A = this chain, B = another copy of it.
Amino acid sequence: MSELAYIDWLRQRTPPDPRVPLGLGDDTAALLTPPLSLITTDMLLEGSCFLLEQAGPRRVGRKALAVNLSDIAAMAGVPVAALVSLGLPRRGGLALAQELYLGMRELADAFGVAIIGGDTNSWDGGLVVSVTLLGQPTGSGPVRRSGAKPGDWLLVTGPLGGSIHGKHLDFTPRVREAQALHATADLHAMIDISDGLATDLAHLCTASGCSATLEAEALPIAAAVAAHPDSRSPLDHALHDGEDFELLVAVSPADGQRLIETQPIAGVQLVKIGQFHPAIAGQAQLRLRDATGEQPLQPRGWVHALE
């Protein structure tokens, strides 16, 4: 089977979509777009971002779309259309591509995403899956990282840590929850937790020019952490493990209090885990408060080192 036959196979599985005047099979796709589009891209690499034998190709395909959906969620956007590029090993590439697609398709259907294009290659290297996702903003527009203000409350949409034991592959991106939050409160800033709570909170603080203090005892810790005890404390896992794909949200104290009291988002227990403060000497700083007092917190979640 050639790349072209694979594209035919894809086409048969791609439902027509009124938003997509021109889908798979021309030099470009054509998509009806709103005045402002959200666009994100993520590349998953075998051995670095997933272990193919352990995860299986369906879950890898699912994850490749899910991480992009989580980015659209972090802007409170509606996902619309995806392009999927594959670097396939020469042997078994076709079966792999089909499984990847089926994993992606499931999530695409669940979130109304049209798969409109891509590029399929084979090579002597490992599996590469690159997805670009387009979406549109909702309500008052995209929720950026840069709008947190001193005094704001920091909320999180779910428990943290231990994602490596399964959630990093099987999480449901918080797309609907983000839209519901955006419709019910003035979200000052938002980010999804992909690199770890401390690291992503640091990103948000830097973008907002704020410091933040986390409350150690308030942090919701995922059951997977207790189920897989190791030499690190549960708190350490919640602070620094990556790929929780929960949302961190900055809101005014009044909105925060209301959200915590009324818990208006179905399926989500919003938890207040900290508060924003002015930058200290021009620097956005993280601090952690526990029963013994307050100390600086160094982000040490996942950041790709480049040499």
State the A residues within 8 Å of B (CB): 1-6, 21-22, 25-43, 45-49, 71-72, 74-75, 77, 81, 83, 85-88, 90-94, 97, 116-126, 128, 130, 132, 134-135, 137, 142, 144-146, 190-192, 207, 303-307
Are A31 and B36 in contact, with the CB atoms below 8 A? yes
Of the candidates B21, B137, B304, the one whose C-beta lies within 8 Å of that of A122 is B304
Residues of B within 8 A of A118 (CB): 41
Quick one: copies of this chain in the complex?
A: 2
B122→A87 contact, CB < 8 A: no
Q: How far is the CB of A130 from chain B (nearest CB, A)?
A: 4
Smallest CB separation, A53 vs chain B (Å)? 15
Say yes or no: A1 contacts B38, CB within 8 Å: no
Q: Contacts A4-B303, A93-B306, A307-B90 hold; do A134 and B39 have CB atoms under 8 A apart?
A: yes
Q: Is the CB of A128 within 8 A of B87?
A: yes
A43 near B306 with CB under 8 A, answer no
Residues of B within 8 A of A304 (CB): 2-3, 120-122
Given A97-B306, A142-B28, A303-B2: A121 in contact with B34 (beta carbons within 8 A): no
Contact B33–A36 (Cβ < 8 Å) = yes
Nearest 4 CB-CB pairings of A with B: A27-B74, A94-B306, A33-B33, A48-B123
Minimal Cβ-Cβ distance residue in B for A306: B94
Q: Is the CB of B3 within 8 A of A116?
A: no
**Identity of the chain B residue whose Cβ is nearest the Cβ of A1 in the assembled complex:** B306
Interchain CB contact under 8 A, A307 and B28: no
Q: Please, which residues of chain B bring their CB within 8 A of the CB of A83?
A: 39-41, 132
Interface pair B27/A191, CB less than 8 Å apart: yes
Given known A1-B306, A83-B132, A117-B40, contact A28–B74 (CB-CB < 8 A): yes
A-B contact pairs, 18 of them (CB 8 A): A2-B306, A3-B303, A27-B192, A28-B75, A30-B137, A31-B39, A41-B83, A41-B117, A43-B85, A43-B121, A45-B125, A47-B125, A49-B123, A87-B128, A94-B307, A122-B304, A124-B126, A132-B132
